[in-house]
């Protein structure tokens, strides 16, 4: 009798565990990417699938939007505060043409999630580097220029870039490598592109260790007793706890939407890191396009000297401050940011 | 029934750290209440009690304990841990001892994105030099989450992933920690104890939380 009870008890325990959800299976805690979900819009470039969409008339000039992070995605760029956040499935969206995608009435707007970020596939850190990111962007530009030629017969060889936060680092790296490919670039609070900018941020921002009394950090740390970042899904899931809350000087709105934080790429130093000897600016002299730099007034209030550090690299850039907003201005004040981009590109 | 209790206690014991020192002087005091503060995994405040008694079948002292710890920043049941376990000297050569601690934990965390309740098992070994009024030891600790109940918030569904699955999850990870600890006993009854640990995931990958865990424990024997 005792043995029967033991067997039944063991089987019941095993069945209970077997019936439990798997935290490592994409789709449970975090969404599947284009590698698993065929319903997501994607393009095949540079040997991988990337989550990508384009809006507007392809006869118009192409603007490629580069999201931040590294590891964020373009959801906030096609959503805007006060409107429903964009579903990952285009057919399920209740509003369109919002966020910076409102520029589709004048431009062919291209959005993609960078490799390892958002709804683009997950990669291990040793499979991603900055050169690959530059090659990916080049391939995305090629893809859409080729599509334009195929659909319209127009042979165009340049695009305009919009670059937000880390996207500004990627844009600068790309322009430095391929200055002839970029017509103009519009930045919104670009990440640091040289050691002086890194140092400025390090000297003027609150470190994580200075935030032990903050809810977000308490949540993040305590969650490590519950979930450890051994797999992509768990790592991505845990990383969301800091989104929009970890940098008080940025005055980010924590409701800014994402599909997925690509935790691996967000922690692997694609933004070069302050201690790395890097130079992504030595060839910027060859860039002949226009440069717009936008920044939220709240961020500028906290970091007043930061934007000026761009001047040695982009002399003569136009500068616009967006009122009453911080680092998440492209989502919070999408109309204002879009209006400035229109004004800049129609100059 | 007695056999079951003996087996359970033996299993608990064959699994030591903060409680380890007390187990070396069980001939003088049987009980201890303690307060632990530190960062593990966040800033925590923990209260606990332990009582030692002789486990006749093993001819050893065993020291069951129970403790409850809560986040200092967001105190309360929703961000706390309840741990029950037992400590026992497994091997000893004079003042060199190998102390083992086995424990089970039920914990909760509330976040902007999800609420989680976890049930975990763990084992810790402390090997060191235990004098009557001081000790120093190296520690290895392993804890594995057996099952988690995860429920997502509206914020997470709106801001990140609308189709996130609520429910019971298996195996959401575990931690391995390597550390050192030491302590002294003052005025015969007051134990002061410091421990520093370096955490890794159970797959020995980067923990990505606090790079070090550190605790200061004040205990009173009675």
CATH number at residue B124: 2.40.128
CA distance B206 to B81: 23
Please count the structural domains in chain A. 1
> Based on C-alpha coordinates, what's the Rg of chain A?
22
pLDDT digits (tens, 9 = 90+) for B22-50: 555 556 678 999 999 999 999 999 999 99
pTM to 2 decimal places:
0.91
Within 8 A of A259 by CB-CB distance, chain B residues are 160-161
Chain A touched by B150 (CB under 8 Å): yes
pLDDT digits (tens, 9 = 90+) for A271-295: 665 555 678 999 999 999 999 999 9
Check B209 against A221: CB less than 8 A apart.
yes
Chain B touched by A92 (CB under 8 Å): no
Helix (H) or strand (E) holding A66: strand A62-66
Residue A6 lies in a domain: no
Give, in order, the Cα–Cα distances in Å from A174 to each of A168, A215, A287: 10, 37, 11
Within 8 A of A255 by CB-CB distance, chain B residues are 155, 158-159
- The shortest C-alpha distance from B186 to chain A (Å) reads 31
Closest CB to B145 among A217, A226, A238: A226
CA distance B149 to B165: 11
Check B109 against A212: CB less than 8 A apart.
no
Closest CB to B113 among A21, A87, A240: A240
pLDDT of residue A272: 66
Closest CB to B202 among A221, A228, A259: A228
Chain B touched by A317 (CB under 8 Å): no
Residue A8 lies in a domain: no
Where are the strands (E) in chain B, listed by range?
31-39, 43-51, 53-55, 60-71, 80-93, 96-110, 114-130, 134-152, 167-170, 174-186, 190-201, 213-221
Give pLDDT tens digits along chain A (347 positions): 577 777 767 766 666 667 899 999 989 999 999 999 999 999 999 999 999 999 999 999 999 999 999 999 999 999 999 999 999 999 999 998 999 999 999 999 999 999 999 999 999 988 999 999 999 999 999 999 999 999 999 999 999 999 999 999 999 999 999 999 999 999 999 999 998 999 999 999 998 888 989 999 999 999 999 999 999 999 999 999 988 899 999 999 999 999 999 999 998 877 665 555 678 999 999 999 999 999 999 999 999 999 999 999 999 999 999 999 999 999 999 999 999 999 999 98
pLDDT of residue B14: 43
Residue A220 lies in a domain: yes
Please count the structural domains in chain B. 1
pLDDT digits (tens, 9 = 90+) for B185-203: 999 899 999 999 999 999 9
What residues make up the domain containing A104? 42-345
SS3 A222: helix
**Residues A76, A328 contacting (CB under 8 angstroms):** yes
Answer with the residue of higher pLDDT: B8 or A208.
A208
Residues 233-262 of A with CB under 8 A from B: 234-235, 238, 240-241, 243, 245, 254-260
CB atoms within 10 A of CB A344: 19
CA distance A336 to A318: 16
CATH number at residue A299: 3.40.50.1820
Residue A104 lies in a domain: yes
φ, ψ for residue A294, nearest 5 deg: -115, 150
Residue A91 lies in a domain: yes
């Amino acid at each position: 009798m005792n043995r029967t009870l033991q067997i039944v008890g063991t089987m019941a325990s095993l069945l209970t565990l077997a019936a439990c959800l798997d935290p490592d299976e994409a789709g449970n805690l975090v969404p599947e990417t284009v590698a698993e979900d065929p319903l997501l819009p994607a393009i095949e470039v540079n040997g991988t699938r990337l989550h990508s969409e384009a809006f507007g008339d392809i006869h118009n000039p192409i603007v490629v939007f580069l999201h931040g992070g590294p590891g964020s995605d373009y959801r906030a760029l096609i959503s805007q505060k006060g409107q429903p956040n964009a579903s990952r499935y285009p057919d399920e969206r209740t509003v369109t043409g919002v966020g910076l995608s409102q520029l589709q009435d004048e431009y062919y707007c291209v959005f993609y999630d960078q490799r390892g970020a958002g709804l683009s596939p997950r990669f291990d850190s040793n499979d991603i580097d900055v050169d690959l990111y530059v090659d990916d962007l080049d391939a995305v530009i090629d893809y859409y220029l080729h599509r334009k030629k195929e659909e319209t017969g127009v042979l165009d060889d340049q695009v305009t870039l919009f670059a937000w936060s880390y996207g500004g680092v990627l844009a600068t790296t790309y322009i430095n490598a391929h200055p002839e490919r970029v017509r103009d670039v519009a930045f919104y609070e670009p990440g640091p592109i040289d050691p002086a900018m890194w140092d400025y941020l390090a000297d003027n921002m609150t470190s994580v260790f200075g935030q032990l009394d903050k809810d977000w950090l308490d949540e993040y740390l305590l969650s490590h007793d519950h979930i450890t970042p051994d797999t992509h899904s768990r790592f991505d899931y845990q990383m969301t706890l800091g989104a929009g809350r970890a940098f008080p000087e940025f005055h980010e709105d924590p409701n800014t939407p994402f599909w997925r934080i690509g935790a691996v790429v967000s922690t692997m130093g694609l933004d070069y890191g302050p201690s790395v000897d890097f130079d992504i600016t030595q060839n910027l002299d060859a860039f002949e396009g226009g440069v717009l730099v936008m920044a939220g007034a709240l961020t500028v209030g906290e970091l007043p000297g930061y934007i000026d550090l761009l001047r040695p690299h982009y002399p003569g850039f136009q500068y616009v401050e967006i009122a009453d907003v911080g680092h998440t201005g492209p989502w919070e004040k999408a109309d204002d940011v879009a209006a400035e981009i229109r004004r800049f590109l129609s100059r | 029934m007695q056999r079951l209790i003996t087996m359970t206690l033996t299993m608990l014991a064959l699994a030591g750290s903060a409680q380890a020192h007390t187990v070396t002087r069980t001939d003088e005091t049987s009980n201890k209440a303690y307060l632990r503060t530190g960062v593990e995994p966040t800033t925590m405040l923990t209260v606990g009690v332990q009582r030692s008694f002789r486990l006749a079948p093993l001819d050893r002292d065993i020291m069951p304990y129970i403790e409850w710890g809560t986040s200092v920043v967001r105190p309360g049941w929703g961000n706390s841990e309840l741990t029950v376990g037992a400590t026992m000297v497994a091997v000893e050569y004079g003042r060199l001892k190998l102390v083992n601690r086995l424990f089970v934990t039920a914990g909760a965390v509330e976040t902007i994105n999800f609420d989680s309740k976890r049930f975990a098992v763990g084992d810790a070994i402390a090997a060191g030099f235990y004098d009557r009024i001081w000790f120093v030891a190296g520690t290895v600790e392993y804890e594995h989450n057996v099952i988690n109940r995860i429920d997502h918030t509206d914020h997470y569904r709106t801001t990140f992933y609308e189709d996130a699955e609520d429910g019971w999850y298996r195996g959401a990870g575990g931690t391995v920690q390597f550390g050192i600890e030491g302590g002294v006993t003052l005025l015969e009854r007051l134990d002061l104890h410091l421990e520093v640990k370096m955490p890794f995931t159970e797959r020995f990958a980067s923990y990505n939380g606090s790079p070090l865990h550190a605790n200061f424990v004040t205990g009173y024997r009675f």
